[in-house]
């Protein structure tokens, strides 16, 4: 378990360093092409959650609400992981490690800055999709790993 805790610390540190570099070196809405017609580096602050949901809530409600919910989810997930640790597959352990790392990285932003720094703009030519960050990617990859592992376990349990 120590290995995974160390990974969480490393991933959270990487996330925070990238966000500091972006904030210190880009101005809002700059666009630097990383992969033509697919990914641009940019700088945006998201006061809400995914796709800026809840961003319009007043600061005195939004910040404590989002930080509080994030903290409760992180604590609940941590308790679940600790209780289930021995029965989790390696893939599930990696998935939960990535999810917790991303959730903690974004919680740090919300709790201390009131908003989350996003910087990767995904698009296809002129069609924009979303702007996210390393923490969001960790959460997404972790979620996919957990789902994939659940299908593998189901398949293994049915003897196929």
Catalytic residue among 15, 30, 118, 156: 118
Starting at the earlier edge strand, list the strands of the sheet with 32-35.
Answer: 32-35, 39-46, 116-124, 127-132
The full DSSP string for 33-70 is EEETTTEEEEEEEESSSGGGTTTTS-HHHHHHHHHHHH
Strand pairing category for 32-35 and 116-124: unpaired
Give me the residue spans of the domains in the chain. 2-23+41-153
Percent of the chain with pLDDT over 70: 93
Does the active-site annotation cover 109? no
Terminal-to-terminal C-alpha distance of the chain:
31
* pTM attached to this predicted model: 0.88
Does the active-site annotation cover 118? yes
pLDDT of 17 > 90? The answer is yes
Catalytic residue among 15, 30, 56, 136: 136
Tens of pLDDT, residue by residue over 50-109, are 766 676 777 778 888 888 999 999 999 999 999 999 999 999 999 999 999 999 999 999
């Amino acid at each position: 378990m120590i290995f995974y805790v160390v990974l969480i610390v490393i991933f959270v540190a990487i996330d925070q360093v990238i966000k500091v570099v972006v904030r210190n070196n880009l101005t809002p809405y700059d666009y630097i092409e990383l992969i033509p017609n697919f990914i641009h580096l940019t700088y945006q602050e998201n006061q809400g959650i995914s796709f800026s949901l809840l961003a319009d809530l007043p600061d005195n409600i939004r910040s404590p609400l989002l930080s509080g919910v994030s903290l409760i989810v992180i604590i609940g997930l941590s308790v679940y992981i600790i209780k289930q640790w021995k029965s989790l597959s390696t893939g599930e352990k990696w998935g939960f490690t990535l999810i917790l790392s991303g959730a903690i990285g974004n919680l740090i932003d919300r709790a201390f800055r009131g908003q989350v720094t996003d910087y990767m703009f995904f698009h296809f030519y002129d069609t924009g999709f979303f702007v996210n960050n390393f923490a969001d990617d960790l959460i997404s990859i972790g979620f996919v790993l957990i789902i994939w592992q659940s299908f593998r376990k189901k398949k293994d349990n049915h003897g196929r």
